[in-house]
Structure 1
Amino acid sequence: MHTRRWGMASAMVLLGGTVLGAAVPAAAVSTAAGATAAVTACPTGWGSLPKSVSATAYGDPLTDIRSGTHECYDRLVFDVPGGGTSVGYQVSYVSKLIQDASGETIPVSGGAILEIRLSAPSYDPNTGAPTYPGVSGQPLPGITLTGYPTFRDTRFGSSFEGVTQVGLGVRARLPFRVLQLSDRVVVDVAHTW
C-alpha cells in the first residue's frame, strides 16, 4: 500500500487554491499524521531454547507473581525484593509439568508449556511462613489472562528446597527472554516469531 504524506501547502491547495487566513481543520492534520504512523518493530531474536543463570545468593523469598501484556509480548513478573539479581533461574519448554518432590503431572493448558524455576522460595527460609500464596496445581493467585495474545494458563508447581516452580501455558512454542532486575525476575514471551 502506498501512503502519501501531504504537507501543509499541498493541503491548502486542495482546500481551495488561494488561502487567505484559512486554516486546515485539526481533524485533517491528525488523520494525515495517523495514516503515516510507524508500525512498532518487535524483537524476534530471543529464541526458544532453555535459559538459565546460577544463583549468587540464597534466602530472598518470592513475594508476588504478576502479569501484563505489551504490544510485542506477554510478561510474567516474579517479585523478589532485594534479591532479583542474585536469584538463579531455569526457564525452558517442557512436554509436561512434573511437580518437584511428588513427581505428579500438573495439567497446564496451551499449545506449549514453559517451566519456570527460581531459586527463591515462596516461604520465609527462617520461619517457614508463606510469603506467596501459591497452591500446588492451581492457577497463580490474582492473575487473569483474558485477552492475552500469548499466555493461556498459569499453574503453581511447588516451592521445594528453596526453589519455586511455575508452569506457564502459552499459545505455541514462541521466543522468550528472561530479565533480572534488582527486585524481580521477568519472563517475556513474544506474540510471534
Structure 2
Amino acid sequence: MTRRSRILPLLAGVALGAGLIAGPAHASPTRYGDEPFCGQVWGSLAEGQELSTSASVVTDVRAGRHVCFDRLVIDLRGPAGATPTYDVRYVPALAAQGSGAEIPLRGGATLRILVGAAAYDQQYQPTYLPADQGEVVDVAAFETFRQVAWAGSFEGQTSLGIGTRARLPFRVFTLAGEPGSDRAFRLVVDVGHLW
C-alpha cells in the first residue's frame, strides 16, 4: 500500500469528523438516542374536528417536498374567519364520494382527507376540478407520497386520498391567508418520511 493510498482514507475520515462533508445542520433526518425523526412528535391516528359543511370552497391542491416530510396543501376560499372542518385518517381503501366505489392507490397505506368544503359554488359550477383525478398532483419524485387521487365533492364535502409508502406519522393544520387574499385559508397535511 502506497503512502498516498493510506493518507486519502485518513483525510476523508478527518473531514467527516469535522463536519466538512455533513449535510445541512438545520434539519437532520436521522435519529439520535430518544430524539424522534427530525424532531417530529406526530402520530398516525385520525386527526380532525367534528365534520360539517361550510360556505368555503376548494380552489386548488398543491404538493411540496421537504427534508423531513412531504406536504399536501388544499387551498380554500370562504367567508372571513371561517376555518374549515376536516377529518384525516388512514383507511383500508379510498372510497369515491357519492358512489362509494373503491379508488385504488399506489403505496403501502392510504391516507384519506375529507374537508368540510365543496369544490363547486352555489350554482354547482366547479371551483376546482383536477385535470387528472387519479394524479391530482405530480408526486413522482417524492419520498413518502406515491399518489394523490381525487375522490370527489358531494353534499358540501370534498375528499382526496394520498397513497403513502407506508403508514407513517402525519400532522394536519390550517393556515390563514393566501397570496392576494385575506379571506382565504389552507389545509395542510404533512406526512413524515420516517418514524
Give deviations 1:149-169, integer Å, cap 9, x for gaps.
Answer: 000011100101100000110
Structure-to-structure mapping, 1:156-171, within 5 angstroms: 156-171=150-165
1:111 aligns with 2:108: yes
Q: Distance in 1 between matches of 2:60 and 2:112?
A: 17
Question: What letter matches 1:179 in structure 2?
Answer: F
Q: Which runs of 5+ in 2 are unaligned?
A: 1-12, 29-37, 177-184
Are residues 1:148 and 2:145 paired?
no
Higher strand share: 2
After superposition, give the CA deviation of every residue in 1:21-49 in whole Å (9 maximum; x if it has no partner).
xxxxxxxxxxx755586362413311000
8 Å CA contact 1:57, 1:86 repeated in 2: no
Aligned residues: 164
Q: Partner of 1:8 in structure 2?
A: none
Task: State the distance in 2 between where 1:43 and 1:122 align.
Answer: 35
Q: Distance in 2 between matches of 1:166 and 1:33?
A: 43
Q: How does 1:21-170 map to 2 (within 5 A)?
A: 35=22, 38=25, 40-41=27-28, 42-54=38-50, 58-82=54-78, 86-124=83-121, 126-134=122-130, 138-140=134-136, 143-170=137-164
Q: 1:138 & 1:35 partners in 2: Cα distance?
A: 39
The TM-score with structure 1 as length reference comes to 0.76
Among the aligned pairs, what percent are the same residue? Answer: 40
Q: Matched residues in 2 for 1:173 and 1:107: separation?
A: 16
Moved over 2 A (4+): 1-5, 32-39, 54-57, 81-85, 134-139
Distance of 2:151 and 2:23 partners within structure 1: 47
State the Cα deviation string for residues 75-121 of structure 1 (Å, max 9, x = none).
00000134686100000001111122212111111110000000111
- In structure 1, the gaps of 5 or more residues are 6-31
Bigger Cα displacement from structure 2, 144-153 vs 53-62? 53-62
Q: What is the CA–CA distance in structure 2 between the aligned matches of 1:136 and 1:127, rounded to whole Å? A: 23
